[in-house]
Amino acid sequence: MVRVCSFLMAILAICLLLSSGLCGNQPAFADDWVRIATGGIDGSYVPCYKAVQCMAINGSNLYVGTGDAAGNAGGSVWSYDGSSWQMVGSNGLGDQENWIVYSMSSFRSRLYAGTLNGTDGCQVLRYNGGTSWTQVNASGFGDDDNVNVMSMFVFNDALYAGVGNDPDGAQMWRYDGSVWTCVGSAGLNPWTIATHTVLSMAEYDGALYAGTDNPVAGADVWRYDGSSWTRSASGGFDDPTNGSVTSLATVAGELYAGTARGEIDGGCKVYCYDGDSWNNVGAAGQGFGDPSNTIAWSMTSYQDCLVVGTYNEDVGCEIWNYDPSMDEIKPVSEPSFDEQNDPQGPGRRQTVVVCSLLNYGPELYCSTHCADTGSSGEVRRYAGGTDWPLAAPLGLSAHNDTDAFGMAFFDGRLAVGTAAVASRGQVFMESASGQSWSRIAEPGFGSNLVSIIASACEYQGNLYVGAEKDYGGCQIWRYNGSSWAQVNQDGFGDIGNAEPVCMSVFDDRLHVGTWNGTGAQVWSYDGSTWNSVAEGPIHDDSSCVTQLVEFRGRLYASTPEGRVYRYDGGTSWTQMNVDHFGDPDNAGIYAMAVMGNALFAGAQNNDGCQVWSYDGTTWSKISEGGFGDAENDVAWSMAAFDSRLYVGTQNDDKGCGVFCYDGHEWTRAATYGFGSPGNRNARSMIANGESLFVGTSNWDSGCEVWRISVAPPVIDSMSPQSGPAGTTVTVKGSGFGDARGGSYVSFGGTKAVEYGEWTEGEVTCKVPTGVSGGCTVTVTTDHGTSNGKAFEVLTPTWYLPEGSTAWGFSAYVTAVNSNDCAVSVKFTYMTPGGAVDGGTFRVNPQSQLTVNPGDAVGSSDFSTKVECLEGRTIAVDRTMSWAEEAHNSVGVNYAADTWYLPEGCSAFGFETWTLIQNPNDAPANVKLTYMVEGGGANSFDKVVPAKSRHTFSMAADIGEQSASTTVTSDLPVIPERSMYRYDRMEGHDSVGSTAPAEDYYLAEGTTAWGFTTWVLMQNPNPTDAQVNVTYMTPGGPVNQDPLTLPANSRKSIKVNDVPGMAGVDCSIHVHGTVPILAERAMYWNNGEKEACHDSIGSPAPHASWYLPDGQSSEGRETYTLVANPNSTPVSVTVSYLTATGQGGVTFSETLPAHSRKTCDMSLWMKSSRASVAVNCARPIVVERSMYWGDRGFGTDTIGAYSD
């Protein structure tokens, strides 16, 4: 049984020393949890102590004794050499039940410490050096009611210990270095059992004086001559309201005593003894003029003056200086040491008692006890006036990260923000190997007021964290991988916004929910500007937004008042549940998550937390109280992982709980507290495709992070290891699952769409279209992505639907052989009259081939098929010119049943033609769907005969319109689109794309040099797309305001009119919230006529690109446009491959992050033809533009990629 004497109980209650105690299915994966962070994340945790209770000098060092840790740790002792602090005794000096090191003294050059131990009785321990201590008494001196060594003093070469004992009265023990002797007790000396403890001691006039307590008759001061005791002062100095003599000190030949006296009685008093009588120090008055100064807790002599430290629960402790020679008293501290830069917050009553005062060298030090769990004990040094700067870290702990709060993934790694009781909140990042942690921010971002990093989120490629400030308003900080920047005004302009509790990305904006005593707020950020999305507070009496979650395209918020709100746009929010889900015993909702088609919320309840599910219409309770254990009273965290819902709870009895729900039943997923009751709270939870992470609250040994992972699939072998699109590949291994479900095989970044067998150990699929060159094959399941196996997707066959040597057109086809060996290339032309053999050509390694189709077809329309007979990869494009202009396009490697062509116009002098090539042996039934800008969609059925190409006019189908085109067919076909303007004074052409994507990249673009650039976007979806366009310029990225692309429509952007984009070269990145397509057209005037060119974008960057055509002779200019969409600089290698394979040139260029560079062939190749190859270690985007005829002619195309 734990016992504490009644006087001590009263004192501890007054001083707030007592803190609150921390008082079936089989677990799912219970043995699979791995602790990846401990001891406050990086292992440097030191408990924060609310009490720095005593001080002593031994040798040349100052020692302090601490206790009342923020957790269950025992007291500690720290050593200070004048420059640095070192812990020399931890966790109760060997016994965790030694809650506080309450007194210390130096005896015979050794340091001794007395403890408070309410279990076995107080202990006295001797310091041996290092961190070693030896107990030198029997616990409690043989009586476990002796709970505390309240005072310790050396007199006449003996160590005296004043002990508190509630039922039997105070005792005094003497130690001669080997034996303890009781020299004072209720039965041994005149004091009675009403005297519970010896609180203070001092030597005066050759005798030992002891101050005691007697809350009934008033405190006494006793005099001891080494053999017997006599009463020096009795009955509280004839005032029974002086219930305790809490401090004694000698100054200038006189003995002083400080008392404890209730506020109702006027506060503490100070008395002076001259050897004959005790007299009240009138200058000190009662409570030094403030009745709240109820205890003169500590005193010492300093510069021939008396210095007194008080206990004051109202405004905080004070320190007073009394000059006996002048009979003058003055304050030498602010209440609670308050100052504008107070590390515990200006204006806070964080320190209520000056526990001890001591001269160390020429300077005066004090130690304190804090007011509550949000503050810390302190050691301060007097600097004159009322200035007492800190002389030690708060609570003697520079790193006491107790809670793993905000967690987010950044750059593929886990980042964790922490909370600390006394030190500052920190941000830790897991190492790339996952084996260690490092701090990536200065603690508290340099502010002593930041104690919690409450939230974290990745947004726009940066890490954002929310910092709670004790005063002045919360802060949001952004990390780009190398440096931090604050991105908001403190508190968003309202200091009431103290804590940014949660973060979430919604509608491509970062949203932050705050705690605010006058009403919670939500703020939205687009990367540059903050907007309030709640008109004042989200609700008048909602103090906090505890969680923000996107569900079915809407943003939901939860509050401590048991409510769930939905954001309706603007500043409008709608409550979506009844308060507390209709159960008045339910309190706050602190966790929400989405799994499948439902939103889940956890409700706090003293009878055990509850989990509720929402299907968009109705809320349903899906768990019983606390999952069968009422101690699981708060659901603090929640995440969906491995097709299950996981919930983390607070359990002060057993340690935190983790439970999982499979849609039908709940299972405990981990042992309570992960095996340690100190992990009392699963504070945070986050999951990725591979692992679930849980961050704990642990005030004993520091917060921890635990991880559970489901093993990803493994590929053992693959056959074949190369082949063109459509090749059947067999993948063997393990962990694929018994059925495919949502699992898939990827070739690079492209998923296979055609599958055969799918079993646990074997998968067959076909190489998808849209992939070329070397790639990595992986299998992805719900449990993660497998190891990769190398596969080379060969592109030996190319199709070019457009082509004509009639109607005034001329044409040439260019191929590039990037292989290290010669290849044979066969040409076949599909004409209205049938297939025409275009001949087979031998092409040298690393060289360019140019072919004139007119040599085989004469004057005719045609499509082209080009094949490498050895099955190796080549690249092919085609150029057409006529009297006024020219256009060019790279070919495609395959036919498909669906194609998209974003650009198209039959108005404003334009004509648009869709050229469809059918390489099949049967007619193709084709549907052309025009998605009109500002209008709806119109479809027209067409037929393309076998092995032919047909041309279709947009104007003939829909009249004068601006429209994108979607081509669908019952057989795989290849379309291309050409456009002409002003009676074919100018024209451009491009192939289409087989699949929309959320991202499209366009390397070329400029609004300088007389160019006008347009971005054409197509949305083939039944829902609107929100689109963000980023321009990568030589000076860095420029973001356009987001826009809406309606369903089944197309939209045009004139880049020249975009703010910040006048007169600048650029590449373009288009991102949609749903898959879309993007194309870019450019127009210019050379002074005599207008000209233009165009290209489809690339849905992804690639590492290797090939551009078959290129020329720097005959007045032609060739430019290679390279875009770097990466967040870091890249080095690219550009190679020019000549017709013979000889005399080529290779050089390197460095591109800054999010920028573009233009490479002029004429700077490297004079008067020559050459293909272009561009390679980079990281994915990039490449196009090529060509001009001639004083730029009256111009062509452009995206490159062919091979990676």
Q: What are phi and psi of 219, to 5 degrees?
A: -75, 160
Please identify, among 539, 564, 591, the residue that sits at the C-terminal boundary of a domain.
Answer: 539
The one-character DSSP state at 892 is B
Q: Do both 915 and 823 map to the same domain?
A: yes
Task: Note whether residue 638 is domain-resident.
Answer: yes
Give the max Cα distance, the chain.
134
Task: Note whether residue 178 is domain-resident.
Answer: no
Q: What are phi and psi of 475, to 5 degrees?
A: -130, 145
Q: Do both 728 and 706 map to the same domain?
A: no
Q: What percent of the chain has pLDDT over 90?
A: 83
Report in angstroms the alpha-carbon separations of 685 from 640, 674, 784: 10, 14, 18
Please enumerate in sequence order all residues whose Cβ is within 8 A of that of 400, keeping only pairs 6 or more positions apart, or say none. 40, 45, 46, 47, 48, 70, 420, 421, 422, 423, 702
Task: Note whether residue 474 is domain-resident.
Answer: yes
Task: Note whether residue 143 is domain-resident.
Answer: no
Looking up residue 747, the CATH number of its domain turns out to be 2.60.40.10
Q: What percent of the chain has pLDDT over 70?
A: 96
Going through 383-432 in order, the beta strands assigned E by DSSP cover 401-410, 413-420, 427-430
For the stretch 545-557, pLDDT in tens is 999 999 999 999 9
Please check the confidence at residue 361 and state whether its pLDDT lies above 90.
yes
Single out the residue of 980, 917, 991, 987 nearest to residue 954, CA to CA: 980
Task: Note whether residue 390 is domain-resident.
Answer: no
Query: How many domains does one find in the chain?
Result: 5
Q: Do both 1086 and 1125 map to the same domain?
A: yes
Looking up residue 509, the CATH number of its domain turns out to be 2.120.10.80
Please identify, among 794, 826, 861, the residue that sits at the C-terminal boundary of a domain.
Answer: 794
Q: Do both 843 and 746 map to the same domain?
A: no
Please check the confidence at residue 399 and state whether its pLDDT lies above 90.
no
Single out the residue of 718, 833, 726, 828 nearest to residue 777, CA to CA: 718
For the stretch 1146-1179, pLDDT in tens is 999 999 999 999 999 999 998 999 999 999 999 9
Q: Do both 508 and 651 map to the same domain?
A: no
Determine how many CB atoms are found less than 10 A away from the CB of residue 181.
10
Q: Do both 787 and 870 map to the same domain?
A: no
Q: CB–CB of 1086/1011 below 8 Å?
A: no
Task: Note whether residue 487 is domain-resident.
Answer: yes
Q: What are phi and psi of 151, to 5 degrees?
A: -145, 155
Q: Do both 609 and 476 map to the same domain?
A: no
Q: What is the distance between the alpha carbons of residues 300 and 250, in angstroms, rounded to a whole number?
A: 7
Q: Do both 1162 and 1017 map to the same domain?
A: yes
Least confident piece of the model among 372-386, 569-583, 739-753? 372-386
Please enumerate in sequence order all residues whose Cβ is within 8 A of that of 9, keeping only pairs 6 or more positions apart, or say none. 166
Please check the confidence at residue 581 and state whether its pLDDT lies above 80.
yes
Please check the confidence at residue 515 and state whether its pLDDT lies above 90.
yes
Distance from the first to the final alpha carbon of the chain:
73
Please check the confidence at residue 689 and state whether its pLDDT lies above 80.
no
**pLDDT at residue 14, as a whole number:** 34
Q: Do both 268 and 283 map to the same domain?
A: yes
Report in angstroms the alpha-carbon separations of 130 from 62, 88, 90, 580: 15, 6, 11, 55
**pLDDT at residue 345, as a whole number:** 53
The per-residue DSSP string of 133-155 comes to: EEE-S-GGGG-TTEEEEEEEEEE
Q: Do both 723 and 673 map to the same domain?
A: no
For the stretch 423-469, pLDDT in tens is 789 999 999 887 899 999 998 998 878 889 999 999 999 999 999 99
For the stretch 1000-1016, pLDDT in tens is 999 999 999 999 999 99
Range of the domain at 19: 1-40+577-710
Determine how many CB atoms are found less than 10 A away from the CB of residue 820.
8
H helices, E strands: number in the chain: 4, 96
Task: Note whether residue 86 is domain-resident.
Answer: no
Q: CB–CB of 192/168 below 8 Å?
A: no
Task: Note whether residue 71 is domain-resident.
Answer: no
Q: CB–CB of 872/973 below 8 Å?
A: no
Q: Do both 885 and 1006 map to the same domain?
A: yes
Q: For residue 298, with 0-12 CB atoms within 10 Å meaning exposed, 13-18 middle and 19 or more buried, which class applies?
A: buried
Please identify, among 710, 739, 765, the residue that sits at the C-terminal boundary of a domain.
Answer: 710
Please enumerate in sequence order all residues whose Cβ is within 8 A of that of 595, keeping only pairs 6 or more positions apart, or say none. 640, 643, 644, 645
Q: Do both 1178 and 1055 map to the same domain?
A: yes
Report in angstroms the alpha-carbon separations of 1182 from 1005, 1036, 1105, 1152, 1155: 12, 18, 7, 15, 12
